[in-house]
């Protein structure tokens, strides 16, 4: 079925020119010691970013406290040193969970970098006054008005330390290039934004002015200019696993014992500076938090958050077509799981010996990245094993294997061309192929979003 939706948004706003600050990159002659004190000699030569502007609660009003941030880089990492002046008695320091600073009694500082300078994608690294970290991947839908800027299911490896001073607090950060993706160029400029938040008055201050009347967030970054001769590092990691267990089943008057054993491996390989290949063989998702039980009385599918690392890391491309890709269907509950339960409940002579509630994956691969021409390419393939239930007939003592989910192949491919400003064109295709008469599916989508130069008017359309 082909559906078309055409939406034209016209905002009656005056024309404006986006202001953009620039901080020139300086290469460190030695790396600072990450202890939060900012007393290393190397910081003395670092240029400072200050003159923050208030975004909320009162846009355009003066900030209530001074902030000074210095940034350096070397061949290994990006270094940030921030001095956040304040009355130490007013600083909020609640300890929170990682990625859980929102709506908590805590102050924090954050840096955002748009490494491809495409004004649509980026990374966030945040540190609270209790030295709790938050990191997220940004997309063009990031909105500073809600405080949530991106996908927090992504976790990177980086360092941070904070110190409480007599006139405020300080934070020192080291962000290795291993946690970023950027182009391989002799000289490059990144988009950059700095944020300070004070809980006591809910004040958000940005380094480069963020206008609430302007669509978008990443397109309102400043610049971190002229990074020279930095090389994207080799990104290669292996995560093998072995697991074992025992399960005891009651079969008639006997107790049947089943030994459980499994093994597999996850692989992550950076093909080049822009593209990454992820692969998982017989994945084990046993460590993933369980879903809440929901009594769904509607005819519609109940959707849950994705918690499996393979399907959360580097998947922002696959979600460009809103609502089209739902990864929880991969390795989810077999389609015939409930029918087996209903059949046994209605026949007292039947007994379930085995009825797996989760589909085991044979393997899955994921390829994603973005070229220097700002073309994002994503491909994901997953193969799910067939699932069988075993039912015992008590009258004959015979066991019957019943197929509850056939061998299934899932595919998705995405081509996302970022255009000037926040504009983009995205093609997405998803398909599912099932054996033994299972239902197949194929859906394609073309999404177009165009902004004019002043970012005041937007035209969106999609076709599926």
The rounded distance, in Å, linking the Cα atoms of 232 and 243 is 35
Mean pLDDT computed over 308-318 = 77
pTM: 0.69
The rounded distance, in Å, linking the Cα atoms of 126 and 62 is 23
How crowded is residue 351: how many other Cβ atoms within 10 Å of its Cβ? 16
For 18-228, CATH gives: 2.60.40.1190
Please, what's the b/e burial string for 398-415 (b: 16 or more CB within 10 A of its CB; e: otherwise)? eeeeebbbbbbebebbbb
Query: Are residues 208 and 193 in contact, defined by beta-carbon separation less than 8 angstroms?
Result: yes
Ordered by start, the domain boundaries in the chain are: 18-228, 236-271+274-288+305-463
Q: Are strands 67-73 and 150-151 parallel, antiparallel or unpaired?
A: unpaired
Q: Are strands 22-24 and 222-228 parallel, antiparallel or unpaired?
A: parallel
Q: What is the pLDDT of residue 1?
A: 37
More confident call, 136 vs 11: 136
Q: What percent of the chain has pLDDT over 90?
A: 48
Q: Is the pLDDT of residue 82 over 90?
A: yes
DSSP 65: S
Mean pLDDT computed over 253-282 = 75
Integer CA distances (angstroms), 52 to 59, 117, 209, in order: 12, 21, 8
Instruction: Dump pLDDT digits (tens) for 180-232.
Output: 888 888 999 999 999 999 999 999 999 999 998 888 899 899 999 999 999 88
Mean pLDDT computed over 170-182 = 93
Q: What is the pLDDT of residue 458?
A: 83
């Amino acid at each position: 079925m082909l559906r078309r939706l055409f939406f034209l948004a016209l905002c009656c706003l005056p024309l404006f020119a986006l202001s953009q600050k620039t901080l020139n990159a300086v290469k460190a002659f030695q790396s600072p010691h990450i202890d939060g004190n900012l007393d290393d000699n190397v910081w003395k030569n670092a240029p400072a970013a200050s003159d923050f502007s208030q975004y909320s609660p009162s846009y355009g009003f003066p900030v209530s406290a001074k902030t000074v941030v210095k940034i350096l880089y070397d061949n290994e990492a990006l270094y940030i040193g921030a001095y956040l002046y304040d009355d130490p008695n007013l600083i909020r320091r609640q300890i929170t969970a990682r990625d859980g600073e929102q709506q908590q009694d805590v102050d924090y500082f954050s840096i955002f970098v748009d490494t491809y300078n495409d004004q649509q994608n980026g990374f966030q690294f945040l540190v609270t006054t209790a030295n709790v970290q938050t990191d997220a991947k940004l997309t063009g839908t990031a909105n500073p008005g809600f405080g949530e800027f991106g996908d927090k299911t992504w976790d990177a490896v980086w360092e941070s330390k904070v110190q409480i001073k007599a006139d405020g607090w300080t934070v020192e950060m080291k962000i290795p290039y291993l946690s970023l993706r950027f182009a391989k160029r002799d000289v490059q400029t990144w988009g950059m934004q700095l944020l300070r938040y004070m809980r006591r008055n809910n004040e958000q201050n940005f380094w480069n002015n963020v206008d609430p009347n302007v669509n978008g967030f990443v397109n309102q970054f400043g610049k971190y200019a002229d990074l020279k001769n930095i090389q994207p590092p080799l990104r290669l990691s292996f995560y093998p696993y072995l697991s074992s267990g025992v399960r005891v089943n009651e079969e008639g008057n006997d107790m049947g014992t089943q030994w459980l054993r499994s093994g597999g491996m996850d692989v992550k390989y950076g093909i080049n500076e822009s593209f990454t290949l992820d692969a998982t063989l017989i994945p084990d998702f046993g460590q993933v938090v369980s879903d809440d039980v929901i009594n769904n009385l509607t005819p519609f599918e109940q959707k849950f958050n994705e918690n499996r690392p393979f399907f959360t890391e580097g998947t922002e491309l696959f979600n460009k077509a809103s609502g089209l890709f739902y990864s929880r269907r991969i390795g989810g509950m077999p389609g015939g799981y409930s029918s087996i339960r209903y059949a046994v409940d209605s026949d007292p002579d039947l007994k379930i010996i085995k009825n797996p509630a989760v589909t085991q994956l044979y393997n899955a691969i994921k390829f994603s990245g973005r070229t220097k021409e700002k073309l994002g390419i994503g491909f994901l393939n997953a193969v799910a094993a067939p699932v069988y239930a075993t039912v015992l007939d008590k009258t004959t003592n015979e066991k019957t294997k019943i197929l509850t989910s056939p061998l299934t192949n899932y595919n998705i491919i995405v081509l996302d061309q970022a255009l000037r400003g926040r504009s983009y064109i995205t093609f997405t295709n998803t398909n599912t192929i099932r054996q033994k008469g299972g239902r197949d599916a194929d859906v394609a989508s073309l999404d177009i979003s165009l902004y004019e130069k002043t970012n005041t008017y937007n035209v969106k359309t999609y076709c599926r």
